[in-house]
């Protein structure tokens, strides 16, 4: 896993379309609109799909993960996620 200092020097840990699982409880820190601060947005074990990949402070990747059961799209760090399934070049799911 790349260090937080130079994460952008490496390729992203996940790709768009990857099926991922949350490794830690994610609560609203005030950056998720329409929900109370402190509200649980994703529980440990929740499954979602990487919808886009951005960056934060020119240091780390942020993965926009779409959780179908809630409809939430939540920005997550790589350390908060684990790969369940990846997509191959033709868009087919491949097991980890």
Going by the DSSP 8-state scheme, the letter that residue 4 receives in this structure is G
Give me the phi and psi of 68, to 5 degrees please. Answer: -65, -35
Domain residue spans of the chain:
4-87
> Coil, helix or strand for 9?
helix
The architecture in CATH of the region 4-87 reads: Roll (2.30)
So what's the pLDDT on residue 91? 60
Going by the DSSP 8-state scheme, the letter that residue 95 receives in this structure is E
So what's the pLDDT on residue 21? 97
Query: pTM, whole model, 2 decimals?
Result: 0.79
Residues 38 and 25: their CA atoms lie apart, in Å, by 11
So what's the pLDDT on residue 48? 96
Mean pLDDT by 10 residues, the chain (96 residues): 64 93 94 92 96 88 94 93 76 60
């Amino acid at each position: 896993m790349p260090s937080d200092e130079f994460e952008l020097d490496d390729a992203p840990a996940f790709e768009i379309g990857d099926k991922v699982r949350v490794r830690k409880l994610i609560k609203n820190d005030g950056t998720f609109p329409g929900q109370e601060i402190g509200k649980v947005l994703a529980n440990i074990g929740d499954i979602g799909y990487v919808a886009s990949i951005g960056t934060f402070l020119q240091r780390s990747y942020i993965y926009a993960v779409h959780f179908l059961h809630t409809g939430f799209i939540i920005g997550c760090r790589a350390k908060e996620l684990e790969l369940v399934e990846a997509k191959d070049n033709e868009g087919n799911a491949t097991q980890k």
